[in-house]
Every structure is written in C-alpha cells, then in structure tokens.
Amino acid sequence: MLKLAAYQESRWVGWTALIFVGTYLATATQMASLAPTLQDRVGLKTSLSATPAMTFLLGSFEHPETVASSVSWRIGLFMAAALSVLAALTVVRHTRAEEEAGRLELLAAGQLGRAAGLAAALIAALTLVLVVAMASSVTLIGHGANPSQSIGHGVALAVPALVSLSVAAVAAQLTATARAAKSIVITFVLVAYVLRGVSDLRGQSAIGALNPFGWYEAVDPFGELHLWPLWLSIAVATVLTLSACLVAFRRDLGAGLFAIGAGRPNSRHLIGPITLVARLGWRSLLGWAVVIAVTGVFVGSLIPDLGDFAETTPEFTQILQSLGGAGMIQDSFVSVMAEVFGVAAACWAVSQVGTWRAEESTGRLEAVLATRVSRSQMLLALAGFIFTGVLIMQLSAGLATGLSAGELPDSLLAQLVRVPPAWLLAAFALLMVAWRPAWFALAWLLILVSVIFGIYGDLLGIPRSLRGISVFQHVPNVPVESISWAPLIAMGAISVGLVLLSLVLLERRDVPTVVGAGILRSPVQALRAMRRKNNEGAS
C-alpha cells in the first residue's frame, strides 16, 4: 500500500514543493525590494503590520531583523494553512475516497490488514509535509536566515499540518463520503485560523495555546526557538491516529461511523441536472464566498491608511505599481487585490470541475446518465453553476471591499472585470475533463503559469513577450486604467466556445472513461484494439 501511495503521490509532492519554493522565492524578492534595510522593515512593522486587519490575517510582526523573518511573517501562516489542507486531503484521498470508489474493498479481499491503507495514507501525507516544509525553509537561508532558523521555520510549518492530517484520518472514519471528510478538515483549518486571529487581536493566550496555528507562532524560529509545540502536535496526532484506527477496526468497510440517511423519496427541489449540481456544490460556493467577503472587509479597511504608509515606505508604492500598474496608491492596491480575488475564484471554479471526475470515477455519474438526463445537460448544468458561482464570488469581494473602504463603484468594477479570466480557466478545465480526464491537472498548471507569468511577472523579471501567456495580463487594471471591453468580450466568447467544444468531445468518449480509450488513440493503437476484439469474438 505504501508503494502504491508513493507511485500516486510522487509527482504531486514534487509539484507542491516546487510551488511552495517558488512562492517563498517570489515573496523574498518582493520583500527585498519593498524593505531592503532594517530601518525599512521597522517602518513596515510600525505601519502596515500594526493595523488590526493585518494582525488578524498574518499574525504579529515580531522580528524585522532580516528579509527571511519578514517573509515568514508575510506568508508563513498562509503557507502553513495551505500545507495543512493539502496534507489532510492526501489522507482523505487514500482512505475514504478509495473506499468510496470500491477499490480499497477489492484490495482488502486479499491479505491486507484493516489499517494498512490508513497507515500508508498517513505516511504519504507525512512525507508531503516534511518535503514541502524543509524545501520551503531552505529558501530562506539565502535571505538572512541561519540553518537553525531555517529548521525552526520548517518545524513551524509542520506543526499545524501534523494535527490536520490526523484530523483527516478521524474524519475519514466518521463519514461515508470523501466530500464530507474534506468538508470537515477544511472547516477545521479555517476555524483554527480564525480563532488564531482572534487570539492575536485580543491577546487571549488561552485560545492560542489550544490552537495548532497558535503553536505555529509559539515555535518562534527567528526569536527564542521552542520545540514544545512540535512535541504537543505529535502527541495530539498520535491520539487522533489511534482513535481513527480503533474506529476502522469496529466499523463496516465502505460505511462511516455516522450512517447516511435514506433521504426523502421525493423532492420538489431536485427536479433536474441544474438542481442536482447546485445541491452538490452550494455549500462549497457559500464557504468560499464567505471567506472572500471577510477577506474583502479587511482589505477594504486597509485602503484609507495606504497614503500614510506609502509616504513612509516609497518602495511599497513601486511594488504595487509593478503589480497593478501606475496610478494612485489606493487604486493600485484595489487592482492588485482584485487580481488575487480573481485567482481565488478561478481556483474554486477548477475545483468544481474536478467534482465531475469524482462523480464519474465512483459511478454516480453513470447512474444519472442512465436516466433521461443527457451528457450535454449535465455538462451545461455544471458550467452554468460554475460561471454563476464565479460571478457571485466576485460580487461578494467587490461589495465587501467597496463598502468597508467607502469606494464601492471602483472596487465592484475592479472585481467584475476579473470574471472573464476565471470563466476562461474553468472552461479550459471542462475541456480537459470532456476530452481526456487524465489531463485535468493541466488546468491547475495553467492557473499556476498565469499567476507566475502575470501577477508576479514584473517582480520575477519575466520578459513581456512571455507574460502574455497569462490570462490575467489581458484584463484592464481597473480602476488604475479605464475599462476596455474588447478583451473581456473575447475571453467570454472563447469560454463559451470551449464549453461547446467540450460538449462535442464528451459525446465521443466512454463514461466512465476507460484507460487507453479516447479520441487521441493513434491508428496503430486502434488497429491493435480491433484485432484483440476480433480474436476475443473468434474464441
């Protein structure tokens, strides 16, 4: 089971480590330009980091001595939360998802222990945590961190992830579906992150002492290093893992500790593919919209104070102008944050497309298509829900930012012009699922390339000829620039065209897809398949 998990996760671990390392390097480059001297970083601490919103989002800025310590404050908590979610999803993917699909039951019919799958999943997730945490921390050595501080930062990143992956192990035993298990662990990470922010704002150390993200801050790698949070997280993870093993031995294979209800025999609301897709995805949309709206409130609260901060830190203005274009400091900040919210909406849209793969691999989609519901109806329902969800998320971001900043028209328009790029990325993901489901990861790769080549292209010194690859580069930087309708209409039209092409391609492949099948089969492969089929018929 461990070899199987290693085969499935080897590329995933490598790409994740590469993304984390790239994020740290880009942030370090940005921080070195924003605050190259100690005096600049002290000014950064006393100005921007002193606002309640930044304290809630990023934590307290305690160590401005080096660029590495500043980077740790700037993105450390975010990266720890992201690593926690990824580790937890790895556990769910190798336990509850495999069990729900029936593959684990097939393996369990042989000489396989009941806890073998869970043990392999935990080891795979732990490997992901260790590789990513150490790779990310090594990048800080070249920016002022000594080896002990780098190791301490890696320990801090791993502390909340250890707790999260053990929570995922328990959630996989409690629920009967991978969707429910993922919801539990993501909710756990979000609630813990918010409670950590409340603890930092109000100085309530008791909340931080009971919070894995509070333990992250307690490690303090750039101050007085403490290792007790590591031992505490290992102890909590051990207890939760043993609890998950006990439940695994006592429950039926394929079922959770909490049984799924039979449901209503009839429903007035579940009347077609559109309501089915909405029923499956509305909780995810609501959660993302709420998080984006809350973040927008904090972002908007920063806008009135940006003028004073720009006077004390001129480099901050230069960074914003390189990201969002030349213009007033407030307008540049609104433009940059609109791009960030647009990326978040695109990530939600692509993740929703990924649910098609899950429904298809588990056989539920095939059961739906056995009724009068056609493939085109299901795909159009999913596309309509995703496009509407992106619009709702951008509206929530624009309203929250604009109302809290007192600049509603500019903020709302800046968010709405980022809707077509998210639609285009979602349509590309639909095309991959309809054409070749194994290529769905290319949609995530396109988002990554668009962010690196577009948003961070100037900071990383990427030539302008290559920055056009990013879909975000073709959007006007509202409110810095006046709105241009041509690229927005073009991206919307391309999105519709990709959806229509997806309908055609989906009709030309099997559902569920078969390994080796698809419209890209070469003539030689097709001839061999025909010969095998003829030989089987003759025998």
Q: What totals of helices (H) and strands (E) does the chain contain, helices first?
A: 24, 0
pLDDT of 380: 95
pLDDT of 533: 56
**pTM of the predicted protein model:** 0.75
For range 147-170, the mean pLDDT: 94
- From 367, 390, 172, 395, select the one nearest 276 (Cα to Cα): 367
pLDDT of 202: 72
pLDDT of 125: 95
In this structure, how many other beta carbons lie within 10 angstroms of the beta carbon of residue 201? 13
Pull the structure tokens for residue 395.
């509206």
pLDDT of 515: 45
For range 122-135, the mean pLDDT: 94
pLDDT of 213: 92
> Angle, to 10 degrees, between the axis of helix 2-34 and the axis of helix 314-324?
120
Q: Are 358 and 177 in contact (CB under 8 A)?
A: no
In this structure, how many other beta carbons lie within 10 angstroms of the beta carbon of residue 15? 14
For range 420-449, the mean pLDDT: 91
Q: What phi-psi label fits residue 256: left (phi over 0), alpha (psi between -120 and 50 degrees) or beta?
A: beta
> Angle, to 10 degrees, between the axis of helix 314-324 and the axis of helix 329-361?
50
The pLDDT confidence band at residue 518, using thresholds 50, 70 and 90, is very low
pLDDT of residue 376 exceeding 80: yes
C-alpha 78: how far from chain center = 11
pLDDT of 53: 64
* Placement of tokens 């849209």 in the chain: 349
For range 75-82, the mean pLDDT: 90
pLDDT of residue 232 exceeding 90: yes
Q: What is the 3-state secondary structure (H, E, C) of 312-328?
A: HCHHHHHHHHHHHCCCC
pLDDT of residue 359 exceeding 80: yes
The pLDDT confidence band at residue 534, using thresholds 50, 70 and 90, is low
Rounded to a whole number of angstroms, the CA Rg of the chain reads 24
Q: What is the 3-state secondary structure (H, E, C) of 46-93?
A: HCHHHCHHHHHHHCCCCCCCCHHHHHHHHHHHHHHHHHHHHHHHHHHH
Q: Residues of 148-176 as b/e, b for ≥16 C-beta within 10 angstroms?
A: ebbbbbbbbbbbbbbbbbbbbbbbbbbbb
The pLDDT confidence band at residue 255, using thresholds 50, 70 and 90, is confident
pLDDT > 90 in the chain, percent = 33
Q: What does the mean pLDDT of the chain come to?
A: 83
pLDDT, tens only, 272-314: 889 989 988 888 899 889 989 988 887 887 777 666 555 555 5
pLDDT of residue 539 exceeding 60: no
Pull the structure tokens for residue 449.
């390339």
The angle subtended at Cα 449 by Cα 446 and Cα 450, nearest 5°, is: 85
pLDDT of 196: 87
For range 451-465, the mean pLDDT: 70
pLDDT of residue 318 exceeding 60: no
Q: What phi-psi label fits residue 270: left (phi over 0), alpha (psi between -120 and 50 degrees) or beta?
A: beta
pLDDT of 23: 86
**Residue 268 vs residue 31, higher pLDDT:** 31
pLDDT of 133: 94
For range 503-511, the mean pLDDT: 90
**Residue 526 vs residue 336, higher pLDDT:** 336
For range 332-356, the mean pLDDT: 87
pLDDT of residue 91 exceeding 90: yes
Most confident range, picked from 56-65, 313-322, 391-400: 391-400
pLDDT of 531: 60
pLDDT of 159: 95
Ranges of H-type helices in 143-227:
147-174, 178-202, 205-209, 212-219
For the range 137-143, what are the long-range contacts, defined as Cβ-Cβ under 8 Å and sequence gap of 24 or more? Answer: 139/21, 139/24, 139/25, 139/28, 140/24, 140/28, 140/68, 140/71, 140/72, 141/68, 142/28, 143/28, 143/31, 143/32, 143/66, 143/67, 143/68, 143/71
Residue 97: burial class (beta carbons within 10 Å; 0-12, 13-18, 19+) = buried
pLDDT of 99: 86
Cα distance between residue 134 and residue 151, in whole Å? 7
pLDDT of 519: 42
Is there a cis peptide before residue 512, judged by omega within 30 degrees of 0?
Answer: yes
For range 39-49, the mean pLDDT: 72
pLDDT of 535: 63
pLDDT, tens only, 106-125: 888 878 888 888 999 999 99
The angle subtended at Cα 484 by Cα 482 and Cα 487, nearest 5°, is: 145
Q: Are 358 and 511 in contact (CB under 8 A)?
A: no
The angle subtended at Cα 172 by Cα 170 and Cα 178, nearest 5°, is: 150
**Residue 350 vs residue 451, higher pLDDT:** 350
- From 538, 343, 334, 354, select the one nearest 439 (Cα to Cα): 354
pLDDT of 164: 95
